[in-house]
Amino acid sequence: METMSADFMNEKLAAAKIHFERALDCKHTEFDDLYPYMIEHPQFFWYKRYVAWSELLTIVQLCDELAISWKDQFTIKQSAYICNRVMSSRVLDEWYETNDSKEHVG
C-alpha cells in the first residue's frame, strides 16, 4: 500500500508540475475551462500561475508529510524555489534553467 501511495503522489506531483509549467508558458490549462471569462482580464495570467503554484506547493507539502521523495522530479534550483514557497518574479523568470537541456512543456 505504501508503494501505491508513493506512486499515486508522484503521479499527482508530475501533473501539478506540468500544470504549473503550462501556466508559466501561458498555455491552455483546465483553469481556462473553469474560468473562461478571466482571459479578458490582464491579471488572468498572474492569477492562473498563482493557482498552479499553490497546487504544486500543496502536493509537495503532502509528499513531505507522507515522507515521499519529491525533489528528484525537479532541478536543484526549482527545488529551492519550491522550498522557499514564494512565487516571485525570479521563479517565473528562472524556472527553466538556460543551461538545462529540458524543454518547455508541450
Residue 106 in any domain: the answer is: no
Return the DSSP state at 98. Answer: T
pLDDT over threshold 50, residue 36? yes
Nearest to 65 by CA among 3, 9, 21: 9
Number of domains the chain contains:
1
Parent domain of 51: 2-94
Task: For 63-106, write each residue's pLDDT tens digit.
Answer: 999 999 999 999 999 999 999 999 888 898 999 976 544 555 55
Q: Is the pTM of this model over 0.85?
A: no
Sign of CA dihedral 96, 99, 105, 106: positive
Residue 100 lies in a domain: no
Q: Dihedrals φ, ψ of 21, to 5°?
A: -65, -35
Residue 57 burial (10 A CB sphere; 0-12, 13-18, 19+): middle
Tell whether 46 is covered by a domain.
Answer: yes
